[in-house]
């Protein structure tokens, strides 16, 4: 095994990068070295350097179509990482065309089209992937089928396998079981679909250890903090420009829809989900998630220098090209103690939804990271209660900063709700805010299909077939 391959396979990406440059200084014509260099740069999230390396390889090497397909995919991955979806789409299209038998290239293209809200084109590429047949890698097949099951359409389980008879009907991957569950809902086979969601979540839980008690301990620390006076530290900092708005709460409470509505305003910049605030906290405090980290965080909130640095880092990261920025990282409810100190003019929007539709909607989602409690209805129920208790108490103590936004009210009368929120922010109403599906901004969350349609007023009705089933399961689990 060559040294650069060994370095990459052992996770020594920086050393691999350096070794590849050393090899290329002697011989620039070896595709394998360029291949390893691109992978090492992508693994380090050096998007611009990875894009340059993959483009250099495409321009300077005599590549076979399959090899060129791989380097175009690297260019697509780098462009996607740099949030240039237009350029990513161009490269993924070339990768797919040059590698007609490459399921990974087709999936990358489909995923980019999905992010671009081009659902009809996405479906066509997925169909191309499925036509590759039984040679499709199980992982890509499962992810592709899950994506397919979330697209608008009427394809059922039976019709899908009739159309693609060479595809497997059983794959050891949670995404496959989530997908079949979704397709069974279209068949109105609700109890069977629920069994598939159960299997998918059990598989997720068995594959990686998860300590739910740690999440509960963090919530308990939040509750304890709420018992203390909340005026400490206030008055140290003045209002900021731009004015931050934080959307917090449970997943599947309409937070993506709300952010899309606000983001349609000409004076508002939607940030999506990310490390805008958490990244600043981690940079300055060097804390890790968990009870010890949260305890240290609360201690740091008394440190004026820490508070100032987090505030400046956040404002520098979000820019000053809009009057208002919206951060919808739902877990930011854990940092309300800091938000109230460093952003005295911040508005915190607490998105809420009726409990059982909320937790069932989360239970049937194949979340990629950060929502491990969604793998158990019991844990979802417990976590829901804890989050609502914490944010609810903060709302009582900070009524001027925290506004409850009930999902059912948003979908029943979106204009009234958005007018109320904009008034609290200090902005005039714009009609674009009630037509978020017509906006071009991309949404990279579990709700990205829903928010690209006209406001979906029957979401809780979709829960009705599962209502008795979920209620009985929760009763059994609690007993």
Q: How far apart are CA 40 and CA 54, in angstroms?
A: 12
Q: How far apart are CA 359 and CA 115, in angstroms?
A: 25
Q: Which fold has domain 212-478?
A: Rossmann fold (3.40.50)
pLDDT for res 439: 59
Structure tokens at 390: 């914490």
Q: How far apart are CA 275 and CA 295, in angstroms?
A: 20
At 242 the three-state DSSP class reads: coil
- pLDDT, average across residues 59-66: 95
pLDDT for res 230: 58
- pLDDT, average across residues 200-211: 93
| pLDDT(315) > 80 | yes
| pLDDT(316) > 50 | yes
Q: Which helix (H) or strand (E) holds 363?
A: helix 355-363
In tens, the pLDDT along 322-338 reads 999 999 999 999 999 99
| pLDDT(140) > 50 | yes
Residue 451's pLDDT band (boundaries 50, 70, 90)? very low
Q: Tell me the percentage of the chain whose pLDDT exceeds 90.
A: 76
Q: Phi and psi of 253, rounded to 5°?
A: -115, 15
Average pLDDT, the chain: 91
What pTM did the predictor assign?
0.89
Higher-scoring residue by pLDDT: 369, 272: 272
CATH assignment of 1-99? Answer: 1.25.40.10
DSSP state of 403: E
Structure tokens at 174: 């949670």
In tens, the pLDDT along 378-390 reads 999 999 999 999 9
| pLDDT(124) > 70 | yes
Q: How far apart are CA 233 and CA 302, in angstroms?
A: 7
- pLDDT, average across residues 160-177: 93
In tens, the pLDDT along 395-436 reads 999 999 999 999 999 999 999 999 999 999 999 999 999 987
345 Cβ neighbours under 8 A, 6+ residues apart: 239, 240, 243
pLDDT for res 374: 96
In tens, the pLDDT along 243-266 reads 999 999 999 999 999 999 999 999
Range from 50-54, 211-215, 453-457 carrying the lowest mean pLDDT: 453-457
- pLDDT, average across residues 182-193: 94
> For the chain, what are the domain ranges?
1-99, 118-208, 212-478
CA 285 vs CA 147, 218, 295, 395, 456: distances in Å = 38, 17, 12, 26, 41
- pLDDT, average across residues 227-241: 75
Residue 438's pLDDT band (boundaries 50, 70, 90)? low
Residue 117's pLDDT band (boundaries 50, 70, 90)? confident
| pLDDT(61) > 80 | yes
| pLDDT(449) > 80 | no
pLDDT for res 284: 83
pLDDT for res 442: 52
Count Cα atoms within 13 angstroms, Cβ side, for 414: 20
């Amino acid at each position: 095994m060559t040294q650069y391959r060994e370095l990459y396979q052992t996770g020594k990406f920086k050393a691999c990068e350096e070794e590849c440059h050393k090899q290329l200084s002697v011989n620039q014509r070896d595709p394998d070295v360029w291949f390893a260099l691109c992978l090492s740069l992508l693994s380090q999230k050096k998007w611009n350097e990875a894009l340059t390396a993959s483009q250099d390889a495409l321009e300077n090497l005599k590549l076979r179509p399959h090899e060129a397909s791989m380097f175009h995919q690297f260019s697509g991955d780098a462009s996607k990482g740099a949030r240039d979806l237009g350029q990513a789409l161009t490269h993924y299209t070339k990768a797919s065309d040059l590698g007609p038998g490459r399921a990974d290239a087709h999936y990358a293209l489909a995923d980019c089209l999905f992010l671009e809200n081009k659902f009809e084109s996405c479906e066509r590429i997925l169909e191309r992937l499925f036509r590759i047949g039984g040679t499709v890698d199980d992982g890509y097949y499962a992810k592709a089928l899950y994506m397919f099951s979330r697209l608008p359409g009427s394809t059922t389980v039976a019709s899908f396998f009739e159309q693609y008879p060479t595809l497997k009907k059983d794959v050891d991957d949670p995404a496959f079981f989530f997908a079949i569950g979704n397709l069974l809902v279209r068949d109105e086979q609700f109890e069977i679909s629920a069994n598939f969601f159960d299997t998918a979540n059990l598989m997720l839980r068995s594959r990686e250890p998860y300590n739910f008690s740690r999440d509960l301990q963090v919530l308990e620390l939040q509750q304890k903090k709420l018992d203390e006076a909340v005026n400490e530290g206030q008055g140290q900092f003045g209002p900021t420009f731009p004015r931050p708005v934080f959307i917090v709460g449970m997943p599947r409470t309409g937070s993506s829809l709300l952010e899309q509505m606000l983001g349609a305003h000409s004076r508002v910049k939607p940030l999506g989900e990310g490390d805008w605030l958490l990244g600043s906290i981690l940079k300055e405090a060097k804390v890790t998630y968990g009870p010890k980290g949260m305890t240290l965080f609360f201690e740091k909130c008394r440190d004026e220098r820490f508070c100032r640095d987090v505030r400046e880092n956040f404002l520098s990261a979000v820019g000053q090209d809009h009057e208002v920025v919206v951060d919808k990282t739902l877990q930011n409810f854990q940092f309300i103690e800091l938000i109230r100190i460093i952003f005295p003019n911040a508005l915190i929007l607490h998105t809420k939804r009726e409990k059982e539709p909320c937790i069932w909607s989360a239970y049937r989602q194949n979340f990629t990271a950060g929502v491990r409690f969604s793998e158990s209805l019991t844990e979802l129920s417990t976590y829901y209660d804890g989050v609502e208790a914490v944010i609810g108490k903060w709302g009582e103590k900070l009524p001027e900063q925290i506004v409850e936004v009930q999902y059912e009210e948003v979908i029943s009368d979106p204009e009234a709700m958005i007018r109320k929120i904009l008034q609290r922010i200090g902005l005039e109403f714009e009609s674009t805010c009630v037509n978020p599906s017509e906006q071009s901004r991309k949404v990279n969350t579990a709700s990205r299909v829903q928010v690209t349609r006209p406001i979906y007023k029957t979401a809780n009705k979709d829960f009705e077939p599962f209502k008795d089933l979920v209620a009985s399961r929760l009763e059994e689990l609690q007993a």
